[in-house]
Chains A and B, each alone.
Chain A
Amino acid sequence: MKAFPTQEIGSLPKFGWRTKPFRQMALSDEDLDAARRWGDRLQIEGRDDFYRLLSKRYSFSDDEKKTIIDYSLLYAIGMCERAGDGDASPRGLDLVWSGEQARTEMYETPVTNIGGFEFVGRVRSFDNKYWRMASVKAPPRYEKNYHLDEFLFTKKHTKRKVKVPVTDAITIMAWSDNNYYTGKWAKKPGLAPARRSFGARREFTLELAKIIRRVISELISKGVEEVQIDIPAATQYQSEDDMKLVAESFNETTKGLSATFSVHSCFPPSTGYGILFPHILEMKKCERFSFEYGNRDSFSRGLDPESRVGFEDLKLFKEYGYKKQLGVGVIHIHTDTLPSAEVVRDRVLYSEKVTGLPRENLYVNPDCGLRTRRPEIAQKMLDLTVNGAELARRTPG
């Protein structure tokens, strides 16, 4: 097994040529130039045909739009496979995905394809970043497999190991307006207010988990070997009951399924990931927890706790005797300010130091998906992931 394997977390930014045709906007010279520049850099197969297609600039047919999406997947795979500045050997990430280019977004895609939801408007997440909130108006129901096509396409176009990110039930529940179940539980007499709202959350979550299990089950039957269960909302509702529900939801989702499962979460409350313990250790089928740490870290080099302040929470895994794999987020994804490769190396080595895990059990990744960054920055972040891991590999353990 390789020491400090590398992975992405899910999303990559979408180029203007990927988004504008779907917003009825004409492609600009800059869009065409970016397609060429990146296509040449990533050595995208059939790119000359693609450039010709884009030169039409507007009024793309549905088939042409489908081709544009396909190429966006190829570009994303290329960014993952070619990450690193050439010093790293072999170049690229060990686990790849197609950057969620075929998805509207990690939340919108599932709620668009699961019955019972209606979009009600956008809600601000932070600063000028928003998500389109869907309201559950009826019990959710399976309508179709919303990840199958992108998986089959990705698998066909890479020789690397593929990891499919799937948004979990907790996150869909937490980011949705729980209209139906709030109303249902409001009618139950004799419950304290907090019990009532938890009851509504739990019922909604477990209904969703059954649907997501079916989606994953079908993916496995088509060849998926590794699934990343995305739970960015794992630390949102923070009561003891809610933490147990995070594990219950994971177990319900993966019940009876056979694949490699990992879990990703990020941006916990100021108290950190401690609230998840010991409950997440009840996720028996989880082989790897991939969490964000770079966000809270310093830009100084060093393996001391002060320099590596963002990684202190990793100690929790050691305290609870965790022996399986971890994915450590080494690059903050909400800023264009980048650490040096040496700082990334130190973040990796510090993770090894505080967890005591063997190097092959420590995956290296950006904190989260990179869709909010420009492609140039996102690529630099992937490069840093690969280069930092390589520098760590060269440091004697």
Chain B
Amino acid sequence: LTQYGVTLTGLHARSEKTIQATQDWERGRIDQERLGKCFDEDVDSLVKLQHKVGVDFPTDGQLTLAWQDLFRPLSSGLSGLQPGPMVRWFNTNTFFFTPVVNGRISSDGKALSKAVERKFFDPHAGFKIVLPDPLTFAQLADDRHYGSKEKVLFAYSDALNTELRSLSSSGLKYVQFLAPSLVYRIKGKPLPRSTVEQLGEGVRAALKGVQARSGFYPCFGDASPYLPYLFDVIPTDDVGMDLTQTDNSGLEGTSKGIIAGIVDSRTTYLEDVAALASRIEDLAERTGAKTITLGPSADLRFVPRTSADEKLSLLGQVKNKLKGKGARPSKRSSKK
């Protein structure tokens, strides 16, 4: 039967105490050490909560100063990049600083290591990290060097590979690409298959030689136009979809794991556990997936911390409700 898991799909919310600490620190009322203690408490409580709800690959929430936005450790830490103008992050009231490409993108393998709070993880169990997928990076970067989004995509993928290899030697067990640019289409048609295949090649380059399980999670849009071939083209162990935007009906059998963005990360409204479980059962039957990992539809930083933690706990309740239910694994094979 289908195995169910729980995961965080993006950056988590800071607690009220940490929020206040960041503001006090900016105004010179507290020092860096006191701020650091607040972040430590925040990460520690989140890691413990993930263990409690049965998360297999916990993250540190990616909520510290290193992660002022999803790009920041990379736009500040990779050669050839720097943070540029502030731009809205898709359809949210949050903003990021555009990665400006002003030279050849390269990595010394230390940018992400500095950003991960490894001390909170069991060295054997390891940790998960969420990163921008190559397409999202290429689409949102301000390229002043390569002259082509395709070149940016592969240059980023190669630099990411150096970073991920370095991380996998220090406890990385799961890397998930957050991929809003694939499904977030304001006007016009979905991206052509050739572009998605190119993205797949970028992901392959980023993962080459990386000893960790991998996932690809497109959020903020309907993944239906790319189904079912997305499962074949993206070379990750798991492929996901934002189920607050995507109907189950376009899904077919797959031998891959599925990341199901079932809980709406954009509201504190707590969904009905039975209704969510029923939808996941339908997903299991349609796909025959061996594993379905339940997640929020996107980052839980879009709601206050208390609600973010409630939503994570809600995922644990849905998982418990699904125990022993599911479908037989599909005979359909996906190419990896």
Contacts and interface: CB of A to CB of B under 8 A. Distances in A.
Asked if A pairs with B, the answer is yes
Interface string B272-289: 100100000000000000
A123 B68 contact: no
Nearest to A295: B85
B22 A267 contact: no
Contacts of A183: 269
Interface stretch (B47-55, B94-102, B167-175): B94-102
Contact of A122 (B69, B139, B304): B304
Interface in A173-216: 174-175, 177-179, 182-183, 186, 192-194, 197
A177 B303 contact: yes
Contact of B243 (A193, A236, A238, A242): A193
A124 B313 CA distance: 21
B271 A186 contact: yes
A271 B85 CA distance: 13
B19 A270 contact: no
Interface in B89-145: 90-98, 139-140
Given A236-B88, A268-B88, A194 B222 contact: yes
B247 A120 contact: no
B222 A125 contact: no
B1 interface: no
B13 A124 contact: yes
B86 A270 contact: no
A168 to B, nearest CB: 14
Name the residue among A120, A193, A296 with the largest chain B CB count within 10 angstroms: A193
Interface in B205-222: 222
Nearest to B63: A124
Given A177-B268, A193-B246, A237 B187 contact: no
Interface in B20-39: 22-23, 25-26
B138 to A, nearest CB: 12
Contacts, number: 118
Name the residue among B26, B87, B90, B247 with the largest chain A CB count within 10 angstroms: B87
Name the residue among A128, A174, A179 with the largest chain B CB count within 10 angstroms: A128
Interface residues of B, number: 49
B14 interface: yes
Interface residues of A, number: 42
A275 interface: yes
Nearest to B142: A270
A135 interface: yes
B165 interface: no
A127 B13 CA distance: 12
Interface string B215-255: 00000001000000000000000000001111100000000
A130 B26 CA distance: 13
A267 B88 contact: yes
A193 B275 CA distance: 13
A140 B302 CA distance: 22
Contacts of A238: 90-91, 186
Contacts of A269: 87-88, 90, 186
A121 B16 contact: yes
Contact of B93 (A194, A197, A236, A268): A236
A270 B98 CA distance: 8
Contact of B85 (A120, A125, A178, A296): A296
A166 interface: no
A334 interface: yes
Interface in A88-131: 120-128, 130-131
Given A121-B305, A122-B16, 20 more contacts: A120-B303, A121-B303, A124-B14, A125-B95, A126-B86, A126-B95, A126-B96, A131-B93, A177-B307, A178-B269, A186-B269, A192-B247, A197-B244, A238-B90, A240-B187, A242-B91, A267-B88, A267-B95, A269-B186, A275-B186
7 contacts: A121-B303, A121-B304, A123-B303, A127-B68, A178-B266, A269-B186, A270-B98
Interface of B: 13-14, 16, 19, 22-23, 25-26, 65, 68-69, 85-88, 90-98, 139-140, 186-187, 222, 243-247, 264, 266-269, 271-272, 275, 301-307
